[in-house]
Amino acid sequence: MVLLVDPGNYSTDIAAGASYRFKLLFIVLLSNLFAIFLQSLAIKLGTVSGLNLAEACRAFLPRWLNIILYIFAEIAIIATDIAEVIGFAIALNLLFPKVPLVAGCAISIADVMVILLFYNPDKSMRGLRIFEYFILCLVMGVVICFCIQLSLIQNTSVGEVFKGYLPSKSIVEQQGLYQACGILGATVMPHSLYLGSGIVQPRLREYDVKRGLVPPRPSPSSTSGNQVFEKTYYIPSLEAIQSSLKTSIAELAIALFTFALFVNSAILIVAGASLYKNPDAVDADIFSIHDLLASSISPAAGILFALALLLSGITAGIVCTIAGQMVSEGALNVKMRPWLRRLMTRSISITPSIIIAGAVGRSGLNAALNGSQVALSIVLPFVTAPLIYFTSRNKFMTVRSGPARLQVEGQPTLVTGHRNEGDDVKMRNAWYTTAIAVVIWLIIAIMNVANLVLLGEGQ
């Protein structure tokens, strides 16, 4: 939930509110519904097959297609990290005004130290959990500030706000469509689909281990440096799948449809009520909301906002690292130390951020921040297509009853094994689920194609 108030969400919601008041609340609602549905498919893929999305692409798709999808996944991760670099620089400038934006972008590379201190997948995750809970407390403080800000809104009726959740012609305008794509990318986030398909596996494994349904994992031949290694897949038991699938999806839906929808709506509503039709509305950005909170509530509210933005951006960087590891290990079978993976990603994303901050300044960073979220939206059709394909076919969504298994990549019984057909439990999507998935995919694809066409025409 911490990542629901990352710089990308702030920037796109603020821009939408300042430009179109409440009219793009419909896109906030639609994006959250899309995120719930697509993340549910990702959870289903990881739960039923025991593979995350990158591993499934490597196992079941032609090599050339797997490489193409891997490239798009890396583009999404870098675009996300560019947003975190910019958010870090802005937050640092808000907390310490004497630190220029260029320096803030450069200093952001120091978050590699956070990876070294808090994230080590081979050891206890307690340090990372404590760090996450601390940031969550800050985020909840910011949410309270926005609740106060909502209560201070004047000359706006509840009906006018709720009308924003209905479709509006503003969505099909060039600027409205651009901002709608940005909200979509910031909410769904392609790399989160890879992450969602992978993070369900520890719960499955814990269930099987407690009940003695899984054999011990063989020790890797080597764990140092970058290497190509023999991949062993964990195939969960049917009991674990049936126990965990509905619970995981329910937790996701509750988190996204309550906390995420409220936070993103609150940001847009505050921006729409306070900045719409203002002389500075065109340049509305994260600085604008910080100044609003600091002046209308208290300076402490502005500091809390900036601190939460700073640390949630660092947490988002850790998530990028975890997702990046899943993508590279799953798609290419290449293992890399977390801090090195973080350093490589940040080194790539920091360069354009520094150039933009130095050449254009605050307005350039704001445009780049919104543009990075649009880039995430453009990548979405490429990431979601294989997800829909895998979860819609019994070939990949068939489970064998009995205990869990560990399967070495390359052996002929990777997922299905040798068994009687009577032992099979087919768990592919229902026809209506597949139909909804295809409709969602078409909507996302059409939105992005139309946006690119309008941008190409210079409208």
DSSP string over 32-62? HHHHHHHHHHHHHHHHHHS--HHHHHHHHS-
Name the CATH architecture for the domain at 2-456.
Answer: Up-down Bundle (1.20)
Q: Are 36 and 169 in contact (CB under 8 A)?
A: no
Read off the pLDDT band of 281 (50, 70, 90).
low
Domain ranges of the chain: 2-456
Helix (H) or strand (E) holding 407: strand 405-408
Q: How far apart are CA 179 and CA 142, in angstroms?
A: 24
CA angle, 235 then 239 then 240, to 5°: 55
Tell me what pLDDT residue 57 has: 96
What pLDDT, on the 0 to 100 scale, is given for residue 314?
A: 80
Nearest residue to 403 via CA among 149, 207, 241, 214: 214
Structure-derived torsion over alpha carbons of residues 174, 352, 346, 369, reported in degrees to the nearest 10: -30
Q: Per residue in 411-437, pLDDT tens?
A: 544 444 444 455 788 899 999 999 999
pLDDT at 144 over 80: yes
119-139 pLDDT per residue, tens: 665 555 565 567 667 767 767
Mean pLDDT calculated for residue range 82-97: 92
Rounded Cα distance, 324 and 348, in Å: 13
Amino acid sitting at position 30: L
**Binning pLDDT at 50, 70 and 90, where does residue 400 land?**
confident
DSSP 8-state code for residue 122? T
DSSP one-letter string for 186-202 = HHH-HHHHHHHHHTTHH
What average pLDDT does the segment 224-237 reach? 61
In sequence order, the β-bridge partners of residue 233 are 407
137: tokens are 């407390």
